[in-house]
Structure 1
Amino acid sequence: MLIVNNLVKKYGKQNAVDDISFELKGGEVVGLLGPNGAGKSTTMKCIVGLLRKSSGEITIGDHHHLSLEAKKMFSYIPETPYVYDMLTVWEHFQFVAQAYHVEDWKEKATELMELFELDDKKDKLGRDLSKGMRQKVSICCALIPDPQVLFFDEPMIGLDPKAIKNTRQIFRKLKEEGKTILVSTHLIDSVESIADRIMILKNGKILGNDTISNLKKQFVQEEGSTLEDLFLELTKDE
């Protein structure tokens, strides 16, 4: 569903993303972990076309990642949620539905508003929403077109505990429906219970790309080790 081959993103002489390759299959939830500055957001922005890659090839569903066909297949939820100041919450959903030519969207939008407790914010303008509310609106907007691939960049930041729980439930439901999800996060606990596979980045390079259990066997020998132990072992300074 997603193929990234030899992706490089340079800033001057520095490689923010340093020749990485990976694939994501349908129905797979993959966690992208790494310390600050590891290249997680840069990788994701290159995939969705918000940053111009220096070199490499990216395809989404066998389409070039910048093609209209590819863009119809995915949704992207950025780390800093952006909403339109002068649109209400409901108008955001209407705008997205019309942009993607989604029919019968109102029932799904209503269900999402109930799930994220946005019912009483339906007529509130974007400029008046808190960061957490903006994040909820951003997630709902991403789900309305029913995309095949979803890119979440720090989706839990700013969400309250109930919204985090609901977001995890949505991940599981999307996985059951065969959707492909790439989740970039600092919150290791939030991804451990839902990810089929983990990719760990450091200094723009992939240090590990496998199931959590396989990575633990490979890099951490202690019994009862956690994903956090694995993460700290792989990303420690030499």
Structure 2
Amino acid sequence: MIEVQGLHKRYGNFTAVSDLSFAVRQGEVLGLVGPNGAGKTSTLRCLAGIIPASSGTVRIAGHDLAADPIAAKRALAFFSDEPRLFDYLTARQHLNFVARIYGVANHEAIAQPLLEEFEIADKADQLPGELSRGMKQKLAIACGLLHSPQVMFFDEPLTGLDPLGIRRMKNSIIKRARAGATIVLSSHLLHLLEEVCTHVLILKRGEKIADGTLAEVSARFSNGDANVNLEEIFLRATGGSDI
């Protein structure tokens, strides 16, 4: 569902991502990890078509992102750490607006369960200025899920959520992966990734250090330690770099 070949992203003379290739299949959840400045956000934004790649190919749900960007973007949703909302639209009006953009028919039947899933149904007629930081994030995610995307990119989406909200978001991600979605999740909360992800991709200075299933990457860096966790894998793979 996500196929990346030879992805490069340069900003002037600075290379943020270098020759990155990987694939994520239907139902898989890939944890994207790396030290600060490793190129995680640049990678996700290139994959979502928010910024152009300098070179390389990206295919989303069978669509070439460069050759057929509209079809590719209709199949995906991108969730950032900062909710982007309109000041003068209520929560319900945000969902109505997104439904019109994506041509979602009978969207009320989808919108109401999303409001309830993310526990903002009682805030449906409130403006963003009346919502907490966590509720804004939940609304942004509900909007992104309205068109039932096949591919989802999460870039630190849990900012502002309380512990219970994080737990429920984890369950929501797992549920959608089990339903067949293809998911890439970037987060500094390595214990969360360990609970949610089936695969992991480790970046350092824009280059791939390792990727594969959690078991495969763990075996590579475990040094025979059967109890090694994702945090220890990360430290060994990156030479102890700060996440």
TM range (shorter): over 0.9
Secondary structure (helix, strand or coil) at the match of 1:84 reads coil
Say if 2:13 is the partner of 1:13.
yes
The answer for the alignment partner of 2:154 in structure 1 is 152
Amino acid at match of 1:25: R
Matched ranges for 1:2-151 at <5 A: 2-66=2-66, 67-151=69-153
Assess if the C-alpha contact under 8 Å between 1:35 and 1:186 holds in 2. no
Distance 2:95 2:213 in 1: 36
Could you tell which deviates more after superposition, 130-139 or 85-94? 130-139
Amino acid at match of 1:133: M
Q: Which runs of 5+ in 1 are unaligned?
A: none
Distance 1:223 1:30 in 2: 22
Distance 2:9 2:220 in 1: 29
How many Å apart are 1:237 and its aligned residue?
5.4
Percent identical residues: 39
Secondary structure (helix, strand or coil) at the match of 2:196 reads coil
Secondary structure (helix, strand or coil) at the match of 1:69 reads helix
Distance 1:223 1:90 in 2: 49
The answer for the alignment partner of 1:169 in structure 2 is 171
Distance 2:122 2:61 in 1: 38
Distance 1:40 1:98 in 2: 31
Q: TM-score, normalised by structure 2?
A: 0.93
How far does the alpha carbon of each residue in 1:176-211 deviate from its partner, in whole angstroms, 9 at most, with x for none?
A: 211100111111111111211000111101111011
The answer for the alignment partner of 1:228 in structure 2 is 231
Distance 1:161 1:124 in 2: 24
How far does the alpha carbon of each residue in 1:108-140 deviate from its partner, in whole angstroms, 9 at most, with x for none?
A: 221221222212211111233332111101110
Distance 2:71 2:207 in 1: 29
Amino acid at match of 2:229: T
Amino acid at match of 1:44: L
Could you tell which deviates more after superposition, 101-110 or 225-234? 101-110
Distance 1:36 1:106 in 2: 40
Distance 1:135 1:146 in 2: 18
Distance 1:109 1:175 in 2: 20
Distance 1:194 1:117 in 2: 21
Q: TM-score, normalised by structure 1?
A: 0.95
Assess if the C-alpha contact under 8 Å between 2:49 and 2:73 holds in 1. no
The answer for the alignment partner of 1:218 in structure 2 is 220
Could you tell which deviates more after superposition, 61-70 or 137-146? 61-70
For the aligned residues, what is the CA RMSD?
Answer: 1.4
How far does the alpha carbon of each residue in 1:119-177 deviate from its partner, in whole angstroms, 9 at most, with x for none?
A: 22111112333321111011101111001101111111111122211111111211121
Distance 2:163 2:237 in 1: 29
Q: List structure 1 segments (4+ residues) > 3 angstroms apart after TM superposition.
A: none
